[in-house]
Amino acid sequence: MLFKKTFICLSILLLLASAETLPGLDYIKSGYDGTKLLNDQLGQSKYPIFDLGPQNGESDFTVNGKTYKVPIMVQATQVSLRKESQCEGIFYSFSDFQKKYSESISFSAGLGIENFSISLGINHELDQFHQEITQNNKAVSVSQSYWAQYSLTTAPAFLMPLNPMFKQSLDALNRMAKEPTTDTQQTIYNQVINSFGTHYVTSAIMGGAAKIYTTLDQNYLKTVDIEQTKTQIGINFSYNVFQFKFGFNSTDLAQKLDENFKKNSNDIIIFSPEVDHISDPKAWSTWESTVPEKPQPVNTTVSYISDLAYEFPEVQAHLRKTIEFYLRNGRLPSIAEIQSFQVALQEPTQFIPGADIVGCGYDATSLSDKRCIFDLEGENYQWSNPNDPTIEFNVPEMLFVMNKPESITLNGTTIFSTFNDFVKETFWETREDSHGFLGFGGKHKRTQYHEYYEKIYQNYQKLALNLRQITWYTLKVPTFPKPPLNKIFEQSIKMLPTEFNEQNSQFFNQFIEAFGTHVVIEGDFGGLVYAEDWFESCLLNMHDEIWIREEISKRYDPFGCFRKDSTKQTDVKQISVEFKQNSEFHALLLGGTDSIPLSDWDKWVPSVKYNPKALNRKLVPLTNFVPNGPQKDALSAAILAIRQQAASEQESYISYLQQIAPPPKPICSLQQAKIPSFLEK
């Protein structure tokens, strides 16, 4: 009998020991070193910060056919998002490339990545690109296939159970070096950072990424049209994907590659999870089958570990200063260095968020921000948040701020049938532009809304959008007198030809690539609750818009985020099976602490004032700020030509999507639903 009980106990222990850990949990619980700028295992090589043991409770989470136990303090959510992007930009300087390289890692507060001293000796990938750009005179372009499978989000920091060793370390700092004055005491802070890193992970999106970095000779780039080069980069990306997917080359794509482009470019291919594309002729297919088995972090949000020392304010403040010294200098400080660094940190006040958007160029065709055109070197004035005077920002003299503390706007559910309607009625407004929204978003491959085209025009879907906007302030450019232009913009105008024609178009293209087609003269800044629901168009042939809106409200009313009274409804009816099976949704929080789940949006609102984001942009033509003369007339003609070309490309792409569109879903055929009129030729 005793043997039987012992055998059962051993069996249970072996079963528990063999249970698989959900990929990503090790990453969530471990410390992160910001100087490495890595998302992989080397980036999480620090001691655990959180205790994610089963003692606090667990829930089941099923992904890729497997069910895992997930700690109750971590929320696991299915994402299932896959997209490809070709030529996300060409980067000529290492600082610009480093910003792009680090996009997958969000630092929720503290120093920006531009202030980091990255350890190139550890991050060998970044070191390789550093050599290519700084020593070999190369520019780098990025194309990628991104595959997100699920997300992991921690509870607020004050609820997270700390690993005993990390907790003991904080206790030791408070007991032995609360306000350090000697190198011995400073060494204790340095040891904590050495062991646990600079940050802890608040959220991670798990999946995979296949990136193709194309290096291009910068002298070659000076002799070619930049748009044609970007097209070649896109073809090159498709060529590589085809080759590594099927194990042989595409003759059709190979013929489209320009010989000069091939001679002056080289590819660096990086798979995550790692795949050996040198020896594996079907590396892309191998990667696609490996991602579900071994998902890796593809997006991460991190915060200073000093945030976790909230019980010890003196320790928290000094630990943060030590972290920021380490991030800026790439080494840990002595007590003398940290004391002088402390004084230096008190002097500057950062520019108000939005100073790099309002007063800057904007490319309407790709819906992207461009270089600023006004002189920011004049005097600044200080602005403090009216509801929290401790939050202060420097404001350039050429901008002024309008206080709108916690101004809240709800738009209700708006249904869009075309991409152009979405652009005209959401985040953009044009003024003094006789061409209206001509060409807006026309360069579909370069906009972040590329997939909207496919959903609307190829997949027969409509977009229902819900927004809740929390505005903290408005930034404006005064229209009179006009603020002074910066030297780079003035010099660039003077170098433009006095006439625009096909032979000199590359000069204008390069100018517009840098400064855009418009100028942002006003914008609201704060936070946004953004929810998009995509549903089959034919549902509107079976039901009316009232029914659609009612079904969508059932999805969000339990959170209260789109209700005027903000109350969370507990008696909401279930979404109908018909709508659930024929719709998909995506929701996010923009601004503030974006790692908070939608269900806790009300807890997110107070964080918006610490990290406000652009909520909209009011635009005027760029030429409004160009001095009168032949260059202005030539630039106006060039911008109009580019916008017309973008509109033509948009029309052709929509027509192409309609031609390759698959048959409607069975539910639409069963109900004899016709194709919506906006999809008919």
pLDDT digits 0-9 by tens, 378-424? 678 888 876 666 678 889 888 989 887 667 777 789 999 999 999 99
In contact, 325 and 180? CB cutoff 8 Å: no
With CA atoms as reference, report the closest residue to 575 among 600, 599, 588, 557. Answer: 557
Label residue 174 by pLDDT band (50, 70, 90): very high
Query: Which strand (E) or helix (H) includes residue 467?
Result: strand 461-476
Neighbours of 221 (CB within 10 A): 17
**Sign of the dihedral defined by the CA atoms of residues 573, 574, 580, 585, in that order:** positive
- pLDDT of residue 12 exceeding 60, the answer is no
- pLDDT of residue 109 exceeding 80, the answer is no
Label residue 163 by pLDDT band (50, 70, 90): very high
DSSP string, 127-145: HHHHHHHHTS-EEEEEEEE
Q: Which long-range contacts (CB under 8 A, 24 or more apart) does 547-555 make?
A: 548/413, 548/415, 548/464, 548/579, 549/413, 549/464, 551/575, 551/576, 551/579, 551/583, 552/413, 552/464, 552/466, 553/413, 555/585
Shared domain check, 404 and 288? no
Label residue 347 by pLDDT band (50, 70, 90): very low
Label residue 359 by pLDDT band (50, 70, 90): very high
- pLDDT of residue 111 exceeding 70, the answer is no
Q: Which long-range contacts (CB under 8 A, 24 or more apart) does 476-481 make?
A: 476/358, 476/399, 476/400, 476/401, 476/402, 476/521, 476/522, 477/358, 477/359, 477/374, 477/398, 477/399, 477/519, 477/520, 477/521, 477/522, 478/398, 478/400, 479/521
Range with the lowest mean pLDDT among 442-446, 449-453, 521-525, 548-552?
442-446
Shared domain check, 365 and 334? no
Range with the lowest mean pLDDT among 93-102, 175-184, 480-489?
93-102
Shared domain check, 384 and 338? no
In contact, 285 and 273? CB cutoff 8 Å: no
Shared domain check, 387 and 307? no
Number of structural domains in the chain: 2
What is the pLDDT averaged over residues 11-19? 42
Shared domain check, 519 and 663? yes
Alpha-carbon span 537 to 545, nearest angstrom: 11
Burial class, 595, CB count within 10 angstroms (exposed 0-12 / middle 13-18 / buried 19+): buried
- pLDDT of residue 609 exceeding 60, the answer is yes
Considering 346, 372, 403, which residue would you say is the last residue of a domain? 346
Residue 156: partners with Cβ closer than 8 Å, 6 or more residues away: 596, 603
Label residue 19 by pLDDT band (50, 70, 90): low
Would 678 be classed as within a structural domain?
Answer: no
Burial class, 575, CB count within 10 angstroms (exposed 0-12 / middle 13-18 / buried 19+): middle
Would 570 be classed as within a structural domain?
Answer: yes
Alpha-carbon span 204 to 669, nearest angstrom: 40
What is the pLDDT averaged over residues 647-662? 91
Would 355 be classed as within a structural domain?
Answer: no
- pLDDT of residue 9 exceeding 60, the answer is no
Alpha-carbon span 205 to 300, nearest angstrom: 6
Alpha-carbon span 575 to 294, nearest angstrom: 34
Alpha-carbon span 166 to 152, nearest angstrom: 21
Considering 346, 381, 401, which residue would you say is the last residue of a domain? 346
Placement of tokens 């559910």 in the chain: 413
- pLDDT of residue 93 exceeding 80, the answer is yes
Q: Which two tokens stand for residue 512?
A: 């517009």
Alpha-carbon span 76 to 63, nearest angstrom: 10
Vertex 391: Cα angle to 390 and 392 (nearest 5): 105
Share of the chain above pLDDT 70, in %: 87
pLDDT for res 2: 42
Shared domain check, 314 and 396? no
64 phi and psi angles, rounded to 5 deg: 55, 40
Residue 613: partners with Cβ closer than 8 Å, 6 or more residues away: 353, 525, 526, 527, 528, 590, 591
Mean pLDDT, rounded, of the chain: 84
Alpha-carbon span 139 to 100, nearest angstrom: 13
DSSP string, 152-188: EEEPPGGGSPBPHHHHHHHHHHHHH-SS--SHHHHHH
With CA atoms as reference, report the closest residue to 347 among 313, 315, 394. Answer: 394
With CA atoms as reference, report the closest residue to 319 among 136, 222, 191, 414. Answer: 191
Would 268 be classed as within a structural domain?
Answer: yes
In contact, 238 and 630? CB cutoff 8 Å: no
pLDDT for res 116: 59
Label residue 314 by pLDDT band (50, 70, 90): very high
Would 158 be classed as within a structural domain?
Answer: yes
Most distant CA atoms of the chain, gap in Å: 101
Considering 286, 320, 346, which residue would you say is the last residue of a domain? 346
- pLDDT of residue 680 exceeding 50, the answer is no
Shared domain check, 454 and 340? no
How many DSSP H helices and E strands does the chain contain?
23, 22
Label residue 524 by pLDDT band (50, 70, 90): very high
- Maximum mean pLDDT: which of 113-127, 298-312, 457-471: 457-471
pLDDT for res 158: 67
Q: Which two tokens stand for residue 230?
A: 């970007």
> What is the phi-psi region of residue 395: left when phi exceeds 0, alpha when psi lies from -120 to 50, beta otherwise?
beta
Shared domain check, 187 and 147? yes
Dihedral, CA atoms, 153, 114, 118, 297, nearest 10 degrees? 20
Shared domain check, 294 and 418? no
Shared domain check, 271 and 393? no
Would 567 be classed as within a structural domain?
Answer: yes
Would 675 be classed as within a structural domain?
Answer: no
What is the pLDDT averaged over residues 338-347? 58
Which SS3 state, helix, strand or coil, does residue 385 take?
Answer: strand
Shared domain check, 299 and 202? yes
Label residue 344 by pLDDT band (50, 70, 90): very low
Alpha carbon distance, N-terminus to C-terminus of the chain = 80
pLDDT: is 509 or 421 the higher one?
A: 421
Helix boundaries (H) for 306-443: 313-329, 335-346, 419-425
pLDDT digits 0-9 by tens, 31-43? 888 877 765 544 4
Would 550 be classed as within a structural domain?
Answer: yes
Instruction: For residue 512, give its domain range.
Output: 360-667
Shared domain check, 395 and 305? no
pLDDT digits 0-9 by tens, 572-589? 789 999 998 899 988 888
